Amino acid sequence: MKNNRYILFWLSQSFSQLGSAMTAHALILWVYGRSGSALAVSLMTFCSYLPYAAASLFSGAFVDRHSKKAVLLGADTLAAVCTLAILALAASGRLEVGWILAANVLTGLMNAFQSPAAAVAVGVLAPEGRIANVSGMNAFSANLTGVVSPILAAALYGAFGLPTVLAIDLLTFVTAFFVLLLWIRIPEPERKAQPKAGPFAGFLDGWRFLRRHGEILLLVETIAVINFFSRLTYENILSPMLLARSGSALTLSMVTSVMGAGGIVGGLLVSLRKKQGDPARLIYGSAALSFLLGDLGMALGRNGMAWALAGIAASLPIPFITAGQNLLFYSRVPRAMQGQVFAVRNALQYSTIPLGILLGGWLADRIFEPMMASNSPLAGALSVLVGAGAGSGMAVMFLCTGLCGSLCSLWGWSRMKRLTVRYEVPNEKGAENERSN
């Protein structure tokens, strides 16, 4: 029964996420077509991540003290109201870029509550001992959404316009809303009466928990650095680099589709694994492989086939990283504190993403592309590795993130091994007996 409950939750939430992803892609097409500015597109992502990280400072305690189901329903409803407002503005011809940025700010705020609530719900609903497999299912659906949503969004946007995509997003929200409301029960842990505290008390409690558990704090810190390096290139640089170096939108579409397919395969492999494995090896070994083979492959590649192989190498290990994180968190964090700890994790891990997003484009335009266009000895030496011409500076950026990201991953792995905590086969229910003090 519990297994069926989780599958229903997973399917309905994945359906809703497909609608949200289609809207995000359609809005990018609308904003870029209206403004012609890559910076405006970057600001859309920035306006989502910054409030998300900021609100995570106090959302964890709120999630732990309230019904996870109510938090999910409320946060999703408010995000849907933003979509409805954008739909009304688009239908009336009054939509502006500023309204979309404002909607992204509010959606990011709602995600700060929705994400830890969903993370706790997954731990509650997942069959016992199957957290790694559940992570694989989530990775599979997320990557399938990543492959399908741009295609559907572009087709519907081109044929019927932005309002149609927004309306479909609202339809997926209504479906997931009523499935959760009527058919999914999320058990709540027994909560003791607590004295009133300030809005950041939950964040401080979660931070103190991380300080007492060095292996989890190390994980959060290293993933924050890994997120920075990955967003420095893939979020901003991959598309313009492939377009500049190949001159073909078809090559870009092929590489991004293959990357999504790699994530799907990785998710399937994780979901079918019978052994849980060592979380540190799953996290850091997979991250090092993704940077070494993926980023360096993107830097050194000269044609679509080479970039596609690099895309598979970059994306296939990602579900293993997520599975390792979930194994460690669900086995170490008491259920009553999961909302607080997950919120602190989100605030710290994702705080580096806005910086990477904004810095990546600036470095490409102002530093690396002009450097490779010059006749300097450094440009000549690097051109032996990455080639010359438009896009070669962005290829050097992939070279840098591949080296820095893999070294960071290997350093984190070695540090984790030196900690006193020994990794047993994690049991996500085992954290129930642990009490914070």
Please give the Cα distance from 57 to 53 (Å, whole number). Answer: 7
Nearest to 350 by CA among 220, 212, 219: 220
Query: What percent of the chain is predicted at pLDDT more than 70?
Result: 90
SS3 of residue 125 by DSSP:
helix
d(Cα 298, Cα 314) in Å, to the nearest integer?
9
pLDDT for the residue numbered 429 = 45
- Cα separation, 202 vs 58, in Å, equals 6
pLDDT value at position 228?
94
The structure's pTM equals 0.79
pLDDT in tens, 167-201: 999 999 999 999 999 999 998 866 655 555 555 66
Q: Are 83 and 23 in contact (CB under 8 A)?
A: yes
User: Over the stretch 354-400, which tens digit does the pLDDT of each residue have?
Assistant: 888 888 878 888 899 899 999 899 999 999 999 989 889 989 999 99
Residue 152 structure tokens: 């559907």
Averaged pLDDT, 315-320: 94
The pLDDT value given to residue 427: 47
CATH T-level topology, domain 202-423 = Growth Hormone; Chain: A; (1.20.1250)
What pLDDT was estimated at residue 45? 79
Burial class (CB in 10 A: 0-12, 13-18, 19+), 105: middle
Q: Are 113 and 63 a contacting pair, CB within 8 Å? A: yes
List the structure tokens of 333.
Answer: 């964090």
Distance, in Å, from the CA atom of 146 to the CA atom of 149, rounded to the nearest integer, reads 6
Radius of gyration (C-alpha) of the chain in whole angstroms: 22
- pLDDT value, residue 234: 84
Pick the residue with more confidence: 34 or 78?
78
pLDDT band at 39 (very low <50, low <70, confident <90, very high): low
Task: Specify the DSSP element, H or E, that contains 44.
Answer: helix 38-65
Range 10-36 average pLDDT: 88
317, 193 contact by CB (below 8 A): no
pLDDT at 430 over 50: no
- How far apart, in Å, are the Cα atoms of 281 and each of 121, 192, 289, 319, 348? 26, 37, 11, 13, 22
- The continuous run of DSSP H or E covering 331 comes out as helix 318-332
| Average confidence (pLDDT) over 398-420 | 89
| Confidence band of 432 (pLDDT split at 50, 70, 90) | very low
- Dihedral sign of CA atoms 108, 114, 116, 122 in order: negative
Question: Which residue in this structure is represented by tokens 């047993």?
Answer: 424
Three-state DSSP at 236 gives coil
CATH number for the region 1-182 comes to: 1.20.1250.20
pLDDT band, residue 311 (cuts 50/70/90): very high
Does residue 434 register a pLDDT over 60? no
Whole-number Cα distances in Å, 334 to 75, 88, 247, 328, 338: 24, 44, 52, 12, 6
pLDDT band with cut points at 50, 70 and 90 for residue 308:
very high
pLDDT band at 2, cuts 50/70/90? low
Spell out the domain ranges in the chain: 1-182, 202-423
pLDDT value for 384: 92
pLDDT digits (tens, 9 = 90+) for 117-129: 998 899 889 887 7
Gap between the Cα atoms of 188 and 26, Å rounded: 37
Compute the distance between CA of residue 408 and CA of residue 187 in angstroms, rounded to an integer. 39
pLDDT (tens digit, 9 = 90+) per residue, 91-117?
A: 999 999 999 999 999 999 999 899 989
Is residue 256 very low, low, confident or very high in pLDDT (cuts 50, 70, 90)? confident
pLDDT at residue 48 in the model: 87
**Average pLDDT score over the chain:** 86
Position 299 confidence tier, pLDDT thresholds 50, 70, 90: very high
Decide: helix, strand or coil at residue 108: helix
Provide the 8-state DSSP code for 333.
S
Q: Which amino acid is at 433?
A: N
